[in-house]
């Protein structure tokens, strides 16, 4: 697939300190040939967002955690900055990557944070 393009919010090849640490720790646990995809990174990110919401709420009570979650921002996630919207979805960036011979992607475009709209008109 060399030369093909993909649009994701995460590529293993992202060049930031949080991602480098995440990739190194993942490969140390699962082996040097393990590949991290968008879904894996999202599964890793979820508990960190929950932790931040619990700390903001000062409670493990679900209703308090839900109420505290809007506005939480993580600047050092493997994908970069993410922020929880009042609709409980994430502001995140769209990346366009070009597939390389080694199976990784070279990021050729990064958007600004995109406001999540999980219920656009016509899909309700």
Domain residue ranges in the chain: 5-110
- pLDDT tens by residue, 83-121: 999 999 999 999 999 999 998 999 999 999 999 998 888
51-74: average pLDDT: 97
Provide the whole-model pTM.
Answer: 0.86
Q: Which CATH number fits domain 5-110: 3.40.1390.20, 3.30.360.10, 3.40.50.2300, 3.90.1150.110?
A: 3.40.50.2300
Q: Phi/psi at 107 (nearest 5 deg)?
A: -70, 120
Per-residue CA distances from 41 to 16, 62, 65 (Å): 14, 24, 22
């Amino acid at each position: 697939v060399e030369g093909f393009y993909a649009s994701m919010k995460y590529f293993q090849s992202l060049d930031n300190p949080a991602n480098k640490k995440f990739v190194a720790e993942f490969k140390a646990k699962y082996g040097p040939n393990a590949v991290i995809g968008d879904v894996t990174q999202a599964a890793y990110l979820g508990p960190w967002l929950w932790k931040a919401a619990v700390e903001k709420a000062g409670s493990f009570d679900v209703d308090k955690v839900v109420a505290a979650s809007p506005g939480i921002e993580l600047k050092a996630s493997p994908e970069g900055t993410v922020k929880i919207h009042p609709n409980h979805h994430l502001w995140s960036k769209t990346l366009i990557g070009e597939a390389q011979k080694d199976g990784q992607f070279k990021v050729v475009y990064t958007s600004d944070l995109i406001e999540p709209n999980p219920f656009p008109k016509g899909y309700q």
